[in-house]
Chain A
Amino acid sequence: MTQYIIRRILLMIPTLLGVSLLVTGMIRLLPGDAVDILVTENAVGGGSMAFDQLVDEELVEPFWEDAPSFDSADDASFADRQDAELDVLARTAIVRDRASEEGINLEDSETRREYVGAIPSRERQEIRNSLALAAYKDSIRAELGLDKGFVGQWWSWLSNAARGDLGQSIVGSQRVSDELGRRLPVTFQLGALAMFFGAIIAIPTGIISAVRQDSMIDYAVRSSAVAMIALPSFFLATLVIALLSRMLDYSFPLYYAQLWDSPGANLEQMVMPALILGLSLSGVLMRLTRAQMLEVMRQDYIRTARSKGLASNAVVTGHAIRNAMLPIITILGIQIPVLIGGSVVIEVIFGLPGVAVYLYRAINERDFPPIIAINMVIALIVVIANLVTDVAYAYLDPRVKLS
C-alpha cells in the first residue's frame, strides 16, 4: 500500500509538469497580453511630455550613428535636441514606410530632417505617442519578465512556485497566493454543499430505482436523471433568480458574506447556488448509483439471502445497500472535477468570489500568473482527490488489491 501511494505520488509529478507546460504554452500563444490591456494611450499621458520623459529615461534609444547622444541632450542646444527627435521619428516604421513609398532616401541626415520636419505636427504627435507607448510597454514587460521567452518564463514560474511564490497578478497587482487563499474556501464551501445536496438527492432515488427495476418509479427516476444532465445550470440558475424575484420579491445579496463573519447571511446566499449545482450533479450520480446498485443486486449472495427466506426489505438494506455504498462513495470522489467545472457558471451568475470566477476574469484580462496558478492548483486538487479515492476504496474494501 505504502509503495503504491509513493508510486502514485511520483506519477503525479510528470502529470503536474505536463499541466504547467500546457498552460504556459497556451498562454504564450495569446496574441495580446495584459500589458496591452493595462496600458492604453491615456496611461502614458500622450503628447510630447511623455515622449521627452521617455527620452530622458533612455527608454527610447538613439538609433543613428550621427544622432547626438541623449545623455548630453540636457546640455545641448534646442536645435540639437529637435534634430535628435526628428532622427528618432525617422526611425519609426510609419515614417520609413512612407518615405520608401515616396522614394525618398532617409540615409542622408539633411534630407531626413527636412522630410520629417515637413510632416504635419498632428501626425508627428501621433507617431511620437505610438513610439512612447511601445517603449513604455516594453519596459513594463521587462519588469514583469514577460520578455523571457517560453522556457525562461516557465522555468522562473516553476522555481518560484516551488518556493511557494505563485507570482503577482499583473492587472490587480495583488499576490496570487493571497487571492487564492481568499477564494479557495468559497469554492470549497460551494462544492461541499453541492456534493451534499447532490448525494442526498441522488443516492436514495438511485437505490429505489435499482430495487424497483423497470417499474414506473425506475422510468421516472431514469428520465429525470437525464433531464438533470440536460438542464443547463445557467438556465436553472437564471430561472430560479427570476422566479424568486417575481414571486417572493427576493433578490440575492450583491456582496459576499464570509462564513465566519456572518454564518447566517453566508448560508443564505450559498444554499441556492449549491442546490442548483447539486441538482445538475445529481443526474450523473443517480445513474451511477443505480448502475452500482444493480451490479450488487445481481450478486450470488443476494440470491442466497433471498432464497433463505429473508424479507425483501432486509435483503436490500442489510445486504445490497451496505455493499453498494462503498463504490458509490468513491463515485462522489470522481465528481470533484465536474463540480469545480460546474462552479464557473454558478459563481459568475451569483457573484460569488470563488476560484472559478477568478480564472474566468483572469482569462478575459490575459493575466497570466493567476491563470497558470489556478490551473495548477485545480489540477493538483483533482490528482490528489483521485489518489485519495483510490486509496480509500482499497482501504475500505479488502478484496481490492492496489498494484
Chain B
Amino acid sequence: MSAASDTPITGDTFVRPQPSAPVRAWRATIDFIKRKPLGAFGAFILILVVVVAIFSPWIARDAIGQTHSGDHLLPPSSTYWFGTDHNGRDIYSRIIYGAQVTALVGAGTVILVGLLSVTIGLISGYFMGTIDFIVQRVVDVWIAFPAIFLILTMVAVLQTTGNLGILGLGRGPDWGPDPRGGPWIWNTFPRTTIVILVLGIVLAGGAVRVVRSAVLSVKANPYIEAAQVIGATNNRIIWRHILPNIMPTVIVLATVQLGVAVLAEATLSFLGVGVTNFPTWGQMLSGRTQDLMASNMHLGLFPGFAIFTAVFGFNMLGDALRDVLDPRLRGSR
C-alpha cells in the first residue's frame, strides 16, 4: 500500500469526533429527561425505591417490630413523622422497610417473567409448527382466567404452613433464618420466594404472547433469511440476530410488568396471603386499618400513597421507554 493512505486523516475532514461512551450515555439521559419529563420522574421513583430499600435499616428510625407503648394511633408529629399505628409502631419506619418488599418482589418477578417469556416465546415463535401450537394452547389455559384467581390458588398451595409443602417452601417462617432476626427482607426467604415465583409464573403467560409476536416480526426481516441461506445455525441466528432485536420489546415489557407486579404484591399482602412476617405496604392497609381508618386517616393514607407513587412512577417510565424504544407496542395493554 502507498504511504499516503497510511497517514492519519488530519485537518478538514467530514468525520465528526465521536464522544466517549460515558459522554454519550450522559447526553442520552439528558435527552430522555428533556423529551419525557414524566418518564424521567418515573425513573427517579424507581431509583428512589431501590435506594430506600437498600439503605432502609439506616433510613428507618425504628427497628423492625419496635413498639412504643402508650403511643398508639398518634397523628403525624415531629417524633413520628407519619404517626403511629394501633400497636404503637412508627408508620414512617414501616413504610421504609416496606420498600424492600416492593423492590425485591418487583425485581424478582420481572426477572422471572423476562426469563420465562423470552425462553418460551423465542422457542414458540422461532420454530413454529407443532411446538408453537402446543405452547399457544398452554398459554390459552394460562390466561383463560383472571390472574388474581390463579395467584390466590397457587399462593395458598405453596404457602400452607405446618406441613412440608413443595420443596419445603410451605414451611414458612420457621425455615431459614428467623424473620425477626434482622431488618432485611431475605430473612423471610421462603414466603418472599413463593410470592415471586407465583407472580412471575402467572404474569409470564401474557408476556409470552408479546415476545412471540416480536420474534415473528423480527423473523420476517430479510437478514434472517440471508443468515439462513449462508448456513448459520439456529443457535447463532437466535443469539446474534433475534435476541438483540427483541431486546427493546423485552425491556419495555419488563418495565410495564414492574408496575403490575408491585400492584399484585400489594393486593396479595392486603388479602393476607403475601409476605406476612415483614412490613409491607399492602399489609399496612389491611386488618385493623380498615376499622380505624375513619378516625385515623394517617393509618392508610401513607402506605396507600406509597403504593400509588411507586406504581404510577413505574408505569410512567414504562410508557416513556415504550415511546422511545418500541413504538410498535404503543397503545397495547
- The residues of A with any CB-CB pair to B shorter than 8 Å are 11, 14-15, 18-19, 22-23, 26-27, 29-32, 223, 226-227, 229-232, 234-235, 238-239, 241-242, 245-246, 284, 287-288, 290-292, 294-295, 337-338, 340-342, 344-345, 348-349, 356, 359-360, 363-364, 366, 371, 374-375, 378-379, 382-383
Give chain B nearest CB distance to A144 CB in angstroms. Answer: 19
Q: Is B203 among interface residues, defined by CB-CB distance under 8 A? A: no
Measured CB to CB, the residues of B under 8 A from A are 38, 137-138, 140-141, 143-149, 152-154, 156-158, 160, 162-166, 170, 259, 263, 266-267, 270-271, 282, 285-286, 289-290, 293-295, 297, 300-301, 304, 307-308, 311-312, 315-316, 319, 330-333
A295 CB contacts on chain B under 8 angstroms: 331
Q: Which residue of B138, B143, B146, B259 has the most chain A CB atoms within 10 A of its CB atom?
A: B146
A284 contact set on B, CB distance < 8 A: 333
Contact call B290/A349, Cβ cutoff below 8 A: yes
Q: In whole angstroms, what is the CA distance A291 to B330 when docked?
A: 8
Q: Check B293 against A341 for contact (C-beta < 8 Å).
A: no
Residues of A within 8 A of B330 (CB): 291
Contact between chains at A345 and B270 (CB < 8 Å): yes
User: Within 8 Å CB of A290, what residues of B?
Assistant: 331
> Contact at A345–B144, with CB atoms within 8 Å?
no
A32 to B312, CA, bound (A): 39
Nearest CB of chain B from residue A190's CB, rounded to whole Å: 14
Q: How far is the CA of A15 from the CA of B311 in the complex (A)?
A: 33
Query: Whole-angstrom distance between the alpha carbons of A245 and B290 in the complex?
Result: 12
User: With A and B bound together, what is the CA distance between A18 and B301 in angstroms?
Assistant: 42
**B152 to A226, Cβ gap below 8 A?**
no
Are the CB atoms of A32 and B160 closer together than 8 Å? yes
23 A-B pairs whose Cβ atoms sit less than 8 Å apart in the complex: A29-B166, A31-B170, A32-B162, A223-B38, A226-B316, A226-B319, A232-B267, A232-B311, A235-B300, A235-B308, A238-B290, A238-B293, A239-B293, A242-B294, A246-B295, A287-B333, A295-B331, A340-B145, A342-B148, A344-B148, A345-B271, A360-B152, A375-B153
Is there an interface contact between B307 and A294, defined as CB atoms closer than 8 Å? no
B271 and A338 within 8 A (CB): no
Complex Cα distance, B157 from A292, in Å, reads 40
Residues of chain A within 8 A of B140, CB atoms compared: 11, 15, 18
Chain A's nearest CB lies how many Å from the CB of B34?
Answer: 16
- Complex-state Cα separation, A153 to B82, whole angstroms: 52
Cβ–Cβ contact B157 & A30, under 8 A: yes
Using Cβ atoms and an 8 Å threshold, which residues of chain A touch B331? 287-288, 290-292, 294-295
Complex CA distance for A382 and B146, rounded to whole angstroms: 9
Residue of B152, B156, B307 near A232 (CB, 8 A) is B307
B154 CB contact (under 8 Å) in A18, A26, A238, A242: A26
Q: Are B259 and A379 in contact (CB under 8 A)?
A: no
Contact of A229 with B285 in the complex, beta carbons under 8 Å: no
Given contacts A27-B157, A31-B170, contact A360 B145 (CB under 8 A): no
Q: A22-B141, A31-B163 given. 10 additional CB < 8 A pairs? A: A11-B140, A18-B140, A238-B293, A239-B304, A337-B147, A341-B149, A344-B271, A371-B153, A374-B149, A378-B145
Contact B300 A363 (CB under 8 A): no
- In the complex, which residue of chain B has the Cβ closest to the Cβ of A348? B271
Partner of B165, one of A31, A359, A379: A31
Among A30, A340, A359, A379, max chain B CB count under 10 A is at A30
Closest A residue to B292 by beta carbon equals A242
